[in-house]
Amino acid sequence: MAKCTLLVDADDTLWENNRYFERTIAECVSLLEPLGYAPEYVRRILNETERRNIQQYGYGVGSFGRSLEETCLALAGALAAPQLRERIAALLQELESITPVILDGVPETLAYLAARHRLILVTKGEPAEQAAKLQKSGLQAFFQAVEIVPEKDVSEYHRIVKQHRIVKSRAWMIGNSPRSDINPALAAGLNAVFIPHPATWELEHAEIRSGSGRLLVVPSFRSLRHHF
């Protein structure tokens, strides 16, 4: 295959991420269940709160923590506020201290791909937080460039294409999120590789839409070797 530019997502594509957020949510839900709130209801309120806060505070542990605290305090009331705040703060501290757990086959597959193609990491979130995860992961050397963006949308993909002088027909966005990795990349004229992850964040779910680029669906990161 001719040399390509591979844009690679980070969270839940290279390393586990959302499982830890889900674990934190589950513990907070368990604190609210004795008050009569069903887990599904708590999650719906949290999702609505996150959608609203993302507009102002972006992604990352800080924005998530704000949404979690707002949700729990609104449902539990003033009497439970001190204990809830203390427990949520401890859970968020644990979340911030996690060392990325690299997904199966990622390092050797990145080494294989980097020897043949240009690799650019494209991740969204709080810049310092994402940069720290990349540094802890030990995977930075495989990438010729790193893009940490506030949102992955069509305009952001167009900017990346222009900035890095990418030929769209020979470029692929690789990731697990239909909403952020696949649909906007296809809409921007790039090709895309969808690698489903069982713990993909609910707010990243979407029906995959066709675009001018090609779509490839593979079962694992390791299987990219068969296509590139």
Distance CA 137, CA 13 (A): 13
3-state secondary structure of 102: strand
For residues 130 and 162, the answer to whether their CB atoms sit within 8 Å is no
Q: Where in the chain is the domain with CATH 1.10.150.240?
A: 18-97
Q: How many CA atoms lie within 13 A of 104 on its CB side?
A: 5
Distance CA 17, CA 99 (A): 10
Paired tokens of 65: 């923590």
Tell me which CATH code domain 18-97 carries.
Answer: 1.10.150.240
Residue-by-residue DSSP string for 147-183? EEES---HHHHHHHHHHTT--GGGEEEEES-IIIIIH
Q: What is the DSSP letter of 180?
A: I
pLDDT tens, residue order, the chain (228 aa): 789 999 999 999 999 999 999 999 998 888 888 888 899 999 999 999 999 999 999 999 999 999 999 998 888 876 666 778 888 889 999 988 888 999 999 999 999 999 999 999 999 999 999 999 999 999 999 999 999 999 999 999 999 999 999 999 999 999 999 999 999 999 999 999 999 999 999 999 999 998 788 999 999 999 999 999
Paired tokens of 202: 């609910």
Strands 171-175 and 191-194: parallel
Helix axes 61-76, 81-97, angle to 10 degrees: 160
Residue type, 43: R
pLDDT digits (tens, 9 = 90+) for 55-71: 999 999 999 999 999 99
Q: Where in the chain is the domain with CATH 3.40.50.1000?
A: 5-16+101-226
**Closest alpha carbon to 170 in 218, 118, 130, 125:** 118
pLDDT digits (tens, 9 = 90+) for 18-40: 999 999 999 888 888 888 889 99
Which H or E run includes 46? Answer: helix 39-57
Residue type, 200: T
Residue type, 173: M
Please give the CATH topology (third level) of the domain spanning 5-16+101-226. Rossmann fold (3.40.50)
For residues 180 and 200, the answer to whether their CB atoms sit within 8 Å is no
